[in-house]
Structure 1
Amino acid sequence: MPKNENIGNTSATYNDVTRRNIEPLFESIREHISRAKFVAIDTEFTGLVLGNASPVFRFNTTEWVTRSTEMNDKYKAMTNIAKTHALVSMGMSVFSRRHVSVPGSFNVHNFNFTLQAQNSHLINPTSMAFLAQNGFDLAKQAIEGIRYFSGPNPNPVVVKTEAINKEGQMIRKIFLDLVRLRKPIVIHNGLFDLVYLYQSFFGPLPDSYESFVYDLSEMFPGGIYDTKLIAEGNDPEAASFLAYAYHRSERIQRRRALAGEPALNIRLKNRLEYDAVAEPLLPVDLHLEKDKQQYCKNFAAYGHCRYNQLCPLSHDINFILDCQECEGSDKKDINDNRNDTTGSKKRKLEEGDPREGDSKILKALSNGASERAAVTSNGTPKDKRQANEEYAIPEQDETDKESNKAPDFAESPALEKAIETMYHTAAYDAFMTGYIFASYKLQLQDALDEYKNKVYLMGRPGQPLLIKPSMYTSNSITYRQTMSLALGSNKDKAKDKPEAEAETGAELPPKVEGKLVAETGTASE
């Protein structure tokens, strides 16, 4: 077999979605979901277990053992965790049909949603340390995370800040699109992901696991597939953890392509372009007063400002003191001038008042702050950002391939390589999950249905959780109340396209000497 240096080195381009850009990307994300054949999901959260809980909470720790082999006890423990902790990110890998006539042919759009729950919640030190050590940017999550309230449906929490309400509604609608559009969902050892997603974006978790399972079966009629279970069922001698299963699948597909056999034909799409919006919009009076007000009066008076770093006025204490001293001198001069009958005012103007230079500096600083406020979050002037044409998203280029290999704070090649090996964001984990599923789908075809609605259970090998209704229970009150929101308005339904119609715009397969070219989906293509 010819040697290929790129085996195992795939890096997936993804769209980094935060509170700064979720609004301009919102409709594009929903459009891609509507065209998906399946969607792979991965999440990161603030706790997997309850560790070293403070006695002040008086938790009964026996009710928090998530590794229990008894399903009732396991579900109770998992709901306790999900209700008291929070999501910090969600990865979504959207696989849509690329070539209609080529099996295993997909376009892939990856999205990494940085999240910030607005409910007070617990943080497990071990979980957060793990995330930080593997490249998760906690500062970015705190500053740019999409703000949402966990589990408020069917009566969403309304707060005074309109921006927070809008962010929460958008991320919830994106999740509910998966429900409304009946898309197959792919996870990897993802029972906890499903529990967290339900609590965060659907509603309060049901009291019993039977009702939870019933709800899932009706929420996702397209099916839920767990790639860890699929990998263990088909390759029991091989490891089944995510990175191993992905790179093994990648190697298999590459070898099939080199041998001229049917192989995955995947194209990673570039990040979406968008018109940046001002976030948040500053009140007009701050701009109108910039010539008179060089520093922030609120910060000077109270030590804080609702606009924080986005405020165009200075929060520098020494600068504020300088300005206030100048203001004090100006007031004294005004009083002196009112009593000046000797012509000293004229002499000051002729000789040049040193405070005039200070005024020019202050005005320049203020103008500079206003100009900085007029630049988009990624440093591009607003009027130079171009909107993305519908469905005309360019293929991944070399710049995009390199830009997401590691977080921006990697300062040395060694650190960058270490971070690349350890952490690829929730979006990258979602992509790996989707790739594994697509690989087995091509291999097993209809036989893959054997794994539909079966979720891997830790501690119970060979005994998956079956996602199907039970004759002894019914769906939960949460499900019945929330589904009216998930179904959406007539306007939302009008956005849906039949699958056949959505596929008519798929790309035509390339040909070389009359044969279809199989692509393996590596970022180096």
Structure 2
Amino acid sequence: KTPPGPTEAAPAARAGDAGCGAGKASGAAMAGPARVPVVDVQSDNLAELWPSMVLALRSATFVAVDTELSGLGARKSLLSPCIEERYKAVCSAARTRSVLSLGVACFKQLPEKSENTYLCQIYNLTLLCTEDYVVEPQSVQFLVQHGFDFNKQYSQGIPYHKGNDKGNESQSLSVRTLFLELIRAKKPLILHNGLIDLVFLYQCFYAHLPESLGTFTADLSEMFPAGIYDTKYASEFETRFVASYLEYAYKKCKRENCKLRDSSGQHLTVEFCNYPADMSRYIDYRYCSLEEESHSPLSLCSHKGLAYGWCPKGVKCPHSHNIDLIIDEDDKLWEKRKKRKHKWKHRKNMKVLPAATTELAEIAPNGEATPETEAAGAAGKKKETHGPPSQGGTHRAGFDAFMTGYIIAYVWMLKQGKTTDAGAGPWLPECHNKLYLSGKSVPLQIVKSLFSKSSKAHSEKIKLAWDSA
């Protein structure tokens, strides 16, 4: 992921009725720049917002989740050719680092309006681990540059502990209980580059992590029976985008969706709640600039790392990191390579070569080849997320969860066409229970194999979840 920056107006963004926890929304398209409301949740308003959050989870069609972390430790092991070793490295990070904030975006399909209309409710939970944990300076620097308030975290962060439950916690109002509500809801879970998120979610809000990857995936398959979906996998292997870091994929989907809308084709519509005035102090609006204002007058940064959502100079870079400009350049390069490839195939009278997207995925905007090294970035969860930031300063877990959900809703619309019956098998079969693995041509499958058993901690916890439901 990269920090979200200015973009075109959201397609058909709408206002809704107050008290949107029940999943009701109505109203005409909003005038002017579209804005995405993110509800800030901390210790002083958790009890007040709890009923609406639980209702949003239970009534959602799917739920997208994102985390902000205090660090990841050594990056080399995160790219180990051995996936079991990668898992152990992330487990080590999850046991020694913490989740600083949790983003949850609940998307509820509104079939009475149109086939692809959703009501979206977004929550950004500020958290505070009560145990000692490592904080990496580069992660702190990134988060501060993008508006993360550490004073607020230490004064109003929702406290939590890691590992197994301590006593009877199943009825308390806590982030651990909220995670249980997510499991009880049995909704498809959406993440972006989700292996790291899942490991941290498990260790911080559920139970002690199992030692083996096979046991971990067995546990996940039982925790989320409706399936786990990774938008990075979908962006690379299904839509075949030139780049797959979060903001790029989100804006690419929005662009294509706007084209569908303008041509009166089937398109995605997202509605938001029109929250009452007394909740205004909790709402953080993420504004999306109009399309004609989205392009920067600066020249586009040519650093090859920008192909993966980062630049070593960060906000000090004198050039533009505007994602819309990057997409423009990628589209031009795409067309040039398509024409060149067509001429070459015709001249050599050979069979069709692989799609141009595969080539372009390894080409930076300036045309230089560069290897994929996302997990080896400077700070935070992933290189595409926590490398030195792009310009804009709008990055946060809640909005990132919204972007993640928007991508999967768009992909589902493309794959399903006019048929959106989630009851006819897996929700999105092409991406069902497949997690993206950097540097690998195949995903990690979330399955319970004949050779793996569920962990004891999970078996006890999942039983408690259903007994206390």
**Are residues 1:450 and 2:417 paired?**
no
Measured in 1, the distance between the counterparts of 2:243 and 2:194 equals: 17
Name 2:158's counterpart in structure 1: 146
Question: Is the contact made by 2:195 and 2:436 (CA closer than 8 Å) also made in structure 1?
Answer: yes
Measured in 2, the distance between the counterparts of 1:23 and 1:252 equals: 40
Name 1:102's counterpart in structure 2: 114
Q: 1:424-435 residue pairs with structure 2 within 5 A? A: 424-435=395-406
**Are residues 1:47 and 2:71 paired?**
yes
Measured in 2, the distance between the counterparts of 1:75 and 1:224 equals: 17
**Are residues 1:6 and 2:9 paired?**
yes
**Are residues 1:214 and 2:218 paired?**
yes
Measured in 2, the distance between the counterparts of 1:231 and 1:404 equals: 23
Measured in 1, the distance between the counterparts of 2:399 and 2:36 equals: 6
**Are residues 1:470 and 2:449 paired?**
yes
**Are residues 1:483 and 2:462 paired?**
yes
Partner secondary structure for residue 43 of structure 1? strand
Name 1:22's counterpart in structure 2: 46
Q: 1:164-183 residue pairs with structure 2 within 5 A? A: 169-183=173-187
Partner secondary structure for residue 114 of structure 1? strand
Moved more, 126-135 or 137-146: 126-135
TM-superposed CA distance for 1:169, in Å, is 4.2
Q: Deviations over 1:443-482 (max 9, x none)?
A: 001793121000001232x221000011111110111111
**Are residues 1:440 and 2:425 paired?**
no
Question: Is the contact made by 1:16 and 1:112 (CA closer than 8 Å) also made in structure 2?
Answer: yes
Q: Deviations over 1:202-227 (max 9, x none)?
A: 10000111000000011000100001
TM-superposed CA distance for 1:485, in Å, is 2.6
Check 1:7–1:38 CA distance in 2 against 1; reply closer, same or farther (3 A cut): closer
Measured in 2, the distance between the counterparts of 1:265 and 1:440 equals: 13
Which structure has the bigger radius of gyration? 1
Which structure has more helix as a fraction of its residues?
A: 1
Measured in 2, the distance between the counterparts of 1:43 and 1:467 equals: 20
Partner secondary structure for residue 100 of structure 1? coil
Partner secondary structure for residue 422 of structure 1? coil
Q: Deviations over 1:95-124 (max 9, x none)?
A: 012233621111000000000000111111
The amino acid of 1:479's aligned partner reads: H
Partner secondary structure for residue 37 of structure 2? coil
Q: 1:306-325 residue pairs with structure 2 within 5 A? A: none
Partner secondary structure for residue 428 of structure 2? helix
Name 2:300's counterpart in structure 1: none
Partner secondary structure for residue 159 of structure 2? strand
Question: Is the contact made by 1:49 and 1:65 (CA closer than 8 Å) also made in structure 2?
Answer: no
Question: Is the contact made by 2:35 and 2:285 (CA closer than 8 Å) also made in structure 1?
Answer: no
Question: Is the contact made by 1:25 and 1:274 (CA closer than 8 Å) also made in structure 2?
Answer: no
Measured in 2, the distance between the counterparts of 1:34 and 1:149 equals: 25
Question: Is the contact made by 1:14 and 1:271 (CA closer than 8 Å) also made in structure 2?
Answer: no
Measured in 1, the distance between the counterparts of 2:140 and 2:185 equals: 34
Measured in 2, the distance between the counterparts of 1:488 and 1:46 equals: 34
Count of residue correspondences: 335
TM-superposed CA distance for 1:405, in Å, is 4.4
The structure 1 residue matched to 2:138, chosen from 99, 122, 126, is: 126
Check 1:201–1:41 CA distance in 2 against 1; reply closer, same or farther (3 A cut): same
Measured in 2, the distance between the counterparts of 1:378 and 1:273 equals: 8
Partner secondary structure for residue 140 of structure 1? helix
Name 2:126's counterpart in structure 1: 114
Name 1:496's counterpart in structure 2: none
Check 1:488–1:425 CA distance in 2 against 1; reply closer, same or farther (3 A cut): farther
TM-superposed CA distance for 1:6, in Å, is 2.8
Normalised to the residue count of structure 2, the TM-score between the two structures is 0.66
Q: Deviations over 1:264-317 (max 9, x none)?
A: 121022447779xxxxxxxxxxxxxxxxxxxxxxxxxxxxxxxxxxxxxxxxxx
Check 1:7–1:177 CA distance in 2 against 1; reply closer, same or farther (3 A cut): closer
Identity among equivalent pairs (%): 34
Question: Is the contact made by 1:95 and 1:109 (CA closer than 8 Å) also made in structure 2?
Answer: yes
TM-superposed CA distance for 1:157, in Å, is 8.9
RMSD after superposition:
2.9
Partner secondary structure for residue 215 of structure 2? helix
TM-superposed CA distance for 1:49, in Å, is 1.9
Question: Is the contact made by 2:47 and 2:173 (CA closer than 8 Å) also made in structure 1?
Answer: no
Partner secondary structure for residue 6 of structure 1? coil
The amino acid of 1:481's aligned partner reads: E
Question: Is the contact made by 1:246 and 1:436 (CA closer than 8 Å) also made in structure 2?
Answer: yes
